Amino acid sequence: MSVISHWIDGAASPGGGHAQPVHNPATGEVIASLTIGDEADVERAVASAAAAAATWGDLSIARRAATLFRFRELLVAATDELAEVVSREHGKTLADARGEIARGLEVVEFACGVPELLKGDFSEQAATGIDVFSWREPLGVVAGITPFNFPVMVPLWMAPVAIACGNAFILKPSERDPSASLVLARLWREAGLPDGVFTVLQGDRIVVDALLVHPDVAAVSFVGSTPIARHVHATATAAGKRVQALGGAKNHGVVLADADLEDAANHLVAAAYGAAGERCMALSVAVVEESVADELIEILSAKARATRVSVGTDPEADLGPVITAAAKERIEGLITSAEEEGARIVVDGRGHVVEGHEGGFFVGPTLIDGVRPEHTVYREEVFGPVLDVVRVSGLAEAIAVINANPYGNGTAIFTSSGEAARTFRRGVKVGMVGVNVPIPVPVAWHSFGGWKDSLFGESHIYGPEGVRFYTRGKVVTQRWPARTRSTGPQFHFTGD
């Protein structure tokens, strides 16, 4: 059985902690043994990263950009290999795994523009004989802690920007699907990145908690569930670090009566069930105008039944298994709670079995009508292929439902009215809004981030906000005295 280790100082590195099994969620089998790091591993990793940061941050921007360009080419060439690694440990379909790599690639391409991104400002003759100029410098060692659901894309939301800006980056990937991190490490090395600039520390809360308070870690990017995001933000900010901590979500897709219902249903089904619902931007609640609710549910239920659940390597599969046996049990329990609390299960995905893969953690697409905000299935982030339908009287009630929810990651509206769409996008207290676009993940040159319990900290991730997050400003006010000297010290400011 393969052993998945750390990556420290440009090479695979065994750790001092214990080992933990990694499963293939499509079969339930143990496929690898993962090294779980301890505090001593964190010390080694941070020391290596700190040494590397000092020289990497001083290298010319042109040479740093050249490394990013080489990494970009290697990532494109490794897409199929990486997609297989992701599908084997995560369970998602190969097509979906390629999709996440493509979205991560976008951020690499954005980071290739680092010479432009780090270009400073200059004020000539700001006062007589005085010039003022400012630029941004790297922070040093920065850490990224990532979730299981996007083992390539989320690390690529962070590392390319951090590294391009001149930092050393330590990745703590999810212990559920850790192998992709090592493929990325290999590609960085092949791209010529100096040893220690990209580090992988495998492990769980022991490693995370040690990173959060380590004096040589300047900033922490976190993506994961809300309780851990809150903990990461509180602990690392108390330790004086810069923190962006992205949390969980409950994303609503509003369907107004004037929408193209067939089109809206296609989007809802794909955005609710794709990746087995394990996306932080999954549309898990359809908020439907009452007058078209019956008709839409009819269309949705036909599409949910036609959705194919299978192993990720099956080219016909629309979605694969969920990540663990515990996740399957939890999701099925939430469906049962909806039934017990008075909602109607229109399509039931509980007990779904894929022939030949009876040990896999499969849940079928599930559609629940008559969900109300007080239901457990609504209050919790299900993170499974479950679509709740909440019926509303119209746009105003839809906005009120969304704004009463503690999360504010993404939302979408399906309508043919520009006026309704404008009222919606201005009225919702949500960070990312789609208009007839179900999963409005911003392109790489904008930044990604939710509001309320979906993000702790001031900074959104990647794009321009990512550049600011991983750098700090310096400003110089400069005078070169002319031969005619001043007559003596001047004790007051002058505005000229």
- Name the CA radius of gyration of the chain, rounded: 25
Report the residue number, 37 or 140, with the smaller CB distance to ligand NAD. Answer: 37
CB of residue 314 to ligand NAD, shortest distance in Å: 24
Does residue 383 belong to the site contacting ligand NAD (CB under 6 A)? yes
Which residues in 284-343 contact ligand NAD (CB under 6 A)? none
Structure tokens at 306: 């036609």
Does residue 453 belong to the site contacting ligand NAD (CB under 6 A)? no
CB 71 within 8 A of CB 60: no
Beta-sheet pairing, 130-138 with 121-127: antiparallel
CB 479 within 8 A of CB 129: yes
Residues 6+ apart with CB under 8 A from 116: none
CB of residue 327 to ligand NAD, shortest distance in Å: 8
Give the 3-state secondary structure of residue 472: strand
Report the residue number, 68 or 154, with the smaller CB distance to ligand NAD. Answer: 154
CB of residue 149 to ligand NAD, shortest distance in Å: 5
**The residue count for the chain:** 496
Whole-number Å distance between alpha carbons of 227 and 100: 25
Does residue 160 belong to the site contacting ligand NAD (CB under 6 A)? no
Annotated active-site residue 280? The verdict is yes
Does residue 67 belong to the site contacting ligand NAD (CB under 6 A)? no
From the candidates 4, 191, 280, 398, which is the catalytic residue?
280
Whole-number Å distance between alpha carbons of 407 and 267: 21
Residue of 85, 112, 265, 280 that binds ligand NAD (CB under 6 A): 280
Of all residues in the shown chain, the one whose CB is closest to ligand NAD is: 224
Q: What does the buried/exposed string (b/e) look like for 106-121 if buried means 16 or more CB atoms within 10 Å of the residue's CB?
A: bbbbbbbebeebbeee
Residue of 90, 136, 172, 189 that binds ligand NAD (CB under 6 A): 172
The total of other beta-carbon atoms located within 10 Å of residue 38's CB is 16
Whole-number Å distance between alpha carbons of 44 and 203: 14
**Interface size with ligand NAD, residues (CB under 6 A):** 29
Does residue 174 belong to the site contacting ligand NAD (CB under 6 A)? yes
Report the residue number, 223 or 390, with the smaller CB distance to ligand NAD. Answer: 223
Report the residue number, 209 or 339, with the smaller CB distance to ligand NAD. Answer: 209
Which residues in 219-238 contact ligand NAD (CB under 6 A)? 223-225, 228, 231
Q: Dump strand ranges (E) for 168-214.
A: 168-172, 198-200
Please give the positions annotated as active site.
280
Residues that bind ligand NAD (CB under 6 A): 145-150, 154, 172, 174-175, 204-205, 208-209, 223-225, 228, 231, 246-249, 280, 381, 383, 409, 450, 454
